[in-house]
Amino acid sequence: MGYSKNEIEVRKLEHILLCKYCNVEYDKTTLLEDVELIHRGTSGINFNDIETEIKLFGKKLSAPIIVSGMTGGHTIAKEINKNIAKAVDELGLGMGVGSQRAAIVNEDLIDTYNIVRSYTDNLVIGNLGAVNFIVDNWDEEIIDKAVEMIDADAMAIHFNPLQEIIQPEGDLNFKNIDKLKEIISNYKKKYKDIPFIAKQVGEGFSKEDAIILKNIDFDAIDIQGSGGTSWAKVELLRIKDDETKDLLKKFVNWGIPTAASIFEVKSVYNNIIIGSGGIRSGLDIAKCIAIGCDCCGVALPILKASLKGWEEVVKVLEKYIKELKIAMFLVGAENIEELKKTPYIVKGYLKDWISQRL
């Protein structure tokens, strides 16, 4: 599609600034508030024995938290990625980078991504768009470029139909996405056998999606459901024209809430599930894991913190870890495996959702 490298850069900068300064979050919620963990009055554990460590994609994480891939391709994005890398290195967590297409198209931008490897050997996840494998006929060579660019431990392929349809510059062809099966398989055979993650960008995957992703042999699904950053809201702020604004407003609440998407995917998919989209506390993380996730991704609060400095990112993540540990103490879970088995209640709309769909 006809857009210049410069246009991509400008859009990326706009997105960062809008997320920093404006309300870009869904009016509707993640539905995690419809999940209630059950207090254990007797607790039965020693807080100091609590272990939050997990292993993910071959690397150890000190807690089931990754910073979701958000940005790249711009000077500010480089700074953001650097700060996130320093923070996750400090805390023993993992991170993703934003869509690497900018650097695939323009090699001058590679350093805005691979800066992360100057600061951490921890888990780093690469990121490419599913739509480009169709529209731009990308193949395993592009994947190889992206992986090598940042020495990626795993590769996320993002699916973003809403984002594409609402951007004036969007790519609109998601037909034949099952060709990804062969491309990924070829990549693994010819290059490296690293895990691949199918990732949404804030509207969630349905169970129908999960079946398709399973057939493509994705090793993990990062559900990124609704309730956090709304791309329709971000675009609404970027766009001047009244009629497009009016149209966008119809879709600002489109998408599957995070908690609902976790239940949808879990019902048909047995591999690794990452819960993300509107994760705003360690209590949210505890809930996601209790209802079926292996790990959680955090984005917007980290983006905001990263613009202030890496120490701010550390602070936010430390608070999440502490909250997670308190929640584990109060439900009497000594480690993440026990947290996965803790009882919970599902109420309200989430309960209705589950009863009708699963």
Binding site for its own copies (CB under 8 A): 38-49, 130, 159, 161-162, 165-166, 172-175, 177, 198, 200, 203-206, 208-209, 212-213, 226, 243, 246-247, 250-251, 254-256, 281-283, 315, 319, 322-323, 326, 329-330, 332, 343, 345-349, 351-353, 356-357
Tokens of 150: 């940042």
**Among candidate residues 321, 293, 287, 285, the one with its CA nearest the CA of residue 56:** 293
User: Please, what is the minimum distance in Å from the beta carbon of residue 347 to its own copies?
Assistant: 5
Identify residue 296 by its one-letter amino acid code. C
DSSP three-state, residue 132: helix
Alpha-carbon distance of 127 to 297, in angstroms, equals 14
Distance of CA 132 to the CA centre of its chain: 19
Q: Which is nearer to its own copies, 103 or 313 (CB)?
A: 313
Sign of CA pseudo-dihedral 198, 302, 61, 73 = positive
Q: 238: Cβ–Cβ under 8 A, 6 or more apart, which residues?
A: 11, 14, 18
User: Please, what is the minimum distance in Å from the beta carbon of residue 141 to its own copies?
Assistant: 23
Q: Which is nearer to its own copies, 174 or 191 (CB)?
A: 174
Is 100 labeled as ligand-binding? yes
Q: Which is nearer to its own copies, 143 or 198 (CB)?
A: 198
Kindly report the backbone phi and psi dihedral angles of residue 116, in degrees, each rounded to the nearest multiple of 5, phi listed first: -60, -35
Q: How far apart are the first and last CA of the chain?
A: 39
Is 99 labeled as ligand-binding? yes
**Among candidate residues 231, 323, 221, the one with its CA nearest the CA of residue 279:** 323
Q: Which is nearer to its own copies, 84 or 285 (CB)?
A: 285
Residue 278: count of CB within 10 angstroms of its CB: 27
Is 140 labeled as ligand-binding? no
Is 224 labeled as ligand-binding? no
Is 44 labeled as ligand-binding? no
User: Please, what is the minimum distance in Å from the beta carbon of residue 205 to its own copies?
Assistant: 4
Q: Which is nearer to its own copies, 106 or 281 (CB)?
A: 281
Alpha-carbon distance of 128 to 40, in angstroms, equals 43
- Strands 65-67 and 94-96 come out as parallel
Q: Which is nearer to its own copies, 119 or 231 (CB)?
A: 231
Is 357 labeled as ligand-binding? no
Alpha-carbon distance of 358 to 356, in angstroms, equals 6
User: Please, what is the minimum distance in Å from the beta carbon of residue 201 to its own copies?
Assistant: 9
- Strands 35-37 and 344-346 come out as antiparallel
Alpha-carbon distance of 29 to 12, in angstroms, equals 25
Q: Which is nearer to its own copies, 161 or 191 (CB)?
A: 161
User: Please, what is the minimum distance in Å from the beta carbon of residue 258 to its own copies?
Assistant: 12
User: Please, what is the minimum distance in Å from the beta carbon of residue 267 to its own copies?
Assistant: 13
User: Please, what is the minimum distance in Å from the beta carbon of residue 266 to its own copies?
Assistant: 15
Alpha-carbon distance of 51 to 334, in angstroms, equals 6
* Annotated binding residues for Mg(2+): 164
* Annotated binding residues: 11-12, 68-71, 99-101, 127, 163-164, 199, 229, 278-280, 299-300
* Annotated binding residues for FMN: 68-71, 99, 127, 199, 229, 278-280, 299-300
